Chains A and B, each alone.
Chain A
Amino acid sequence: MSDVATSAAASGAATAASSKPPLLEVDDLRTTFDTLVGPVRSVDGVSFSVSDGETLGIVGESGCGKSVTALSILRLVPVPPGRHAGAVRYRGRDLLALSEREMRAIRGDRISMIFQEPMTSLNPVLSVGRQIAECVQLHQGLGRAEAMRRAVEMLKLVQIPEAERRAAEYPHQLSGGMRQRVMIALALSCRPELLIADEPTTALDVTIQAQILDLVKRLQRELGMGVIMITHDLGVVAESCDRVVVMYAGRKVEEAGVLELFDRPRHPYTRALMASMPAFSTRAARLAEIPGLVPAPHQLGRGCAFAPRCAYAEARCRVERPAFTADAAAHGVACFVAEEGRLPAPEVTAEAVAP
């Protein structure tokens, strides 16, 4: 009962303050895990913000800290072994300072998340309708029957055919694409202000991916929510994001509007990532390789984390860590060479894509 009260208060506060503190501000977030090899900093001083109705993309390869960033925002990182520092402000309130009970009222209600693998994130012993109903019962204080009606409504919203019948089915009875749609229905059932989508389409086929991305975009327009789209696929970024944060080894290395980023990538890592994608290169040519591997977070040196693989690295890059600085067009980069304007023009840009 008091959960419901808190939740109502939280959403009330949110709507009242529509004049309004920003939706989400992540400020110098650091997430550290205590492990046998010592403390490992998976997210290292990451800052960004998301406004209402905006889609922010977070891109990077596995191990770059993009998922841990998402989990940290929702405080889903187990503490211990995890530790947070910095601030995650939702409408001006620091989520990292809330009690677990206060956090629970926000999680799934004001901010919700969809995960990469729908099979492991849905409860196998509850029917999908029940799972959605549980969420709205808890957060919105609806009665059982009313909640079930809402669940069916949500399943219709995400275009599940025969929603009434499907609501009684269990996750194993659904296809992968349908499970992902159920998860979206679940995440949106309380009409959140912010949706965090962690590789929502990576496990899906391209035609299903197109359906899901289209669905998220449509629902975002209808509900006016902010979206954080976490992905490794620059195609998904180009299509669905307004602004992009590029991460490497736990740090933000570049941030820009999506057109600006694809027209003028400034960080050597962003450029290398673009050049290594088959779709960017001319067809017969070799793909550009990024030599070496993403470093393990406990093996990072003092300097720029990308320096060992960077074609433009200088002596300074190996000993000193470049600060993140933005230019007039709000295009920020953490790279000494780029900042001093000494990088050559990128060899490959989006222009090279054959339609």
Chain B
Amino acid sequence: MSEATPLLAVEKLRKHYLSPKPWIGQGRPPIQAVDDVSFTVERGETLALVGESGCGKTTTAKSVVRLVEPTSGSVKLEGEELTTLSAERMRQRRKDLQIVFQDPYASLDPRMSAGDIVAEPLRNFAGMTAAERKERVQWLFARVGLRPESAAKFPHEFSGGQRQRLGIARALALNPKLIVCDEPVSALDVSVQAQVVNLLMDLQAELGIAYLFVAHDLAVVRHISHRVAVMYLGQMMEVADRDTLFAAPRHPYTEILLSAVPVPNPRIRPQRLLLQGDPPSPANPPPGCRFHTRCPLAQPVCREERPPLTPRDSAGGTQWVACHFR
């Protein structure tokens, strides 16, 4: 976590959602969606943020682009603090920081043509002439594998996979340095998913874009990412490079999470570590280590003291783990 300034540095990020104040009484405690999360993304790198629903991965991703205003903590892009930027300066900064959403149906304006959707960022920022814009849009369409003629069509005329390509073209329009991908392939069929994963990887190889890749599908994550960060109930449990994490996970939660993934090979009958029960509510998280209520290794110290995320030596580089015993 030293050397040159990382592309993105998130430090002690917190997002607590307050419930509306009731007429009488105390009201409910705030939902601690993200609580003290730190990580970095290097240039041209893919960091995957994984975890189960409610673990705060999407809130973290949205806080990075300030679609969600963090409660506290710092988000730095190339060393510049984003959380305190003025609206106008933040707007300018978004050129380097784009997002692709999970639901390609809901994230495109149904009344705009595909060409207009992709041209909108160019109109807002790039100061291009209409002819230059048109040329850029055509290049973008070709680059993401859409026919340039289809620029006149509207979102409903595209299939799910094509719509996701359109979302990617829009994110790509201003040559961003980082694209936050919030479950970009979760809504797609397997065969179409492969097309979009390949496209994202090609774009990275060609244009050097970094991805903050939020996903729950660990097979996709294993394929696409360089490093993986595992979240549980709003906190970071483990961060490591991909091969280390999948081959030698240290945190008990990571272990259980990986063992739960069904293996598409009927000859392998994995020894499954089953997690008992459901995750606790983020409005009332357990004290100490947040995983201790379901952890097979839990000891009294885990109830009392929260283990910080600390580096461990491993074959493939540094592995950061938040556990008293691993």
Contact = CB atoms under 8 A, between A and B. Distances in A.
Genuine A/B complex: yes
Interface of A: 61-62, 161, 175-178, 205-211, 213-214, 232-239, 258-259, 262, 272-274, 276-281, 283, 286-290, 293-294, 350-351, 353, 355
Contacts of B52: 205-208
B274 A272 contact: no
Interface of B: 52-53, 159, 161, 189-195, 197-198, 201, 216-220, 222-224, 256-257, 259-269, 272, 274-275, 277-279
Contact of A277 (B218, B219, B279): B219
B53 A287 contact: no
Chain B CB within 10 A, most for which of A61, A206, A238, A294? A206
Given A176-B53, A287-B194, A235 B274 contact: no
B126 to A, nearest CB: 31
Contacts of A207: 52, 256-257, 260, 274-275
A273 B266 contact: no
B56 to A, nearest CB: 14
Contacts of B195: 289
Given A178-B278, A207-B275, A290-B194, A61 B264 contact: no
Contacts of B217: 278
A283 to B, nearest CB: 6
B191 A238 contact: no
Contact of B264 (A161, A208, A279, A283): A279
Chain B CB within 10 A, most for which of A239, A272, A273, A278? A278
B263 A210 contact: no
Contacts of A288: 194
B274 A273 contact: no
Contacts of B259: 210
Contacts of B262: 209-210, 213, 233, 235-236, 238-239
A249 to B, nearest CB: 13
Contact of B265 (A238, A283, A290): A238
A289 B189 contact: no
Contact of A206 (B190, B216, B266, B269): B216
23 contacts: A161-B277, A175-B278, A207-B52, A208-B52, A209-B260, A209-B262, A210-B260, A214-B274, A232-B189, A238-B266, A238-B268, A239-B262, A274-B264, A276-B194, A278-B219, A278-B220, A278-B222, A280-B264, A287-B223, A289-B194, A289-B195, A350-B266, A353-B268
Contacts of A351: 265
A239 B222 contact: no
A100 B251 CA distance: 55
A227 to B, nearest CB: 16
A276 B257 contact: no
Contacts of A177: 278
Nearest to B265: A350
Contacts of A209: 260, 262
Nearest to B278: A175
Contacts of B189: 61-62, 232, 294
B223 A290 contact: no
Nearest to A280: B264
Contacts of A274: 264
A342 to B, nearest CB: 23
Given A205-B52, A206-B216, A214-B274, A235 B261 contact: yes
Chain B CB within 10 A, most for which of A211, A236, A237, A273? A211
Given A277-B219, A279-B264, A61 B190 contact: yes
Nearest to A290: B191
Nearest to A261: B266
B188 to A, nearest CB: 9
